[in-house]
Amino acid sequence: MALMITDECINCDVCEPECPNGAISQGPEIYVIDPAKCTECVGHFDAPQCVEVCPVSCIPVDPARVETQDQLRRKYEALMAAKAAAG
């Protein structure tokens, strides 16, 4: 399940640097999460770091992007393989 940032976001800038996959970026009005890069920190941490640091609790699971832990793990592995190949 990829995460999403709701319009309650206050643009505090604390979530972006916490994302190990670089999935969070500034959108037109609020921060956004790229679902292709969001693994909910699977492979990096036990809990999503953006959720841990968000002061207004505006980062829920995106109901349109339901993924199992196995799918998130495979996404993480693919992202790491692509990063290794590029670097």
**pLDDT per residue over 13-39, tens digit each?**
999 999 999 999 999 999 999 999 999
pLDDT at 41 over 80: yes
What's the confidence (pLDDT) of residue 87?
76
**pLDDT per residue over 42-70, tens digit each?**
999 999 999 999 999 999 999 999 999 99
What's the confidence (pLDDT) of residue 12?
97
Three-class SS of the chain: CCECCCCCCCCCCCCHHHCCCCCEEECCCCEEECCCCCCCCCCCCCCCHHHHHCCCCCCCECCCCCCCHHHHHHHHHHHHHHHHHHC
- At the topology level of CATH, where does 16-86 sit? Alpha-Beta Plaits (3.30.70)
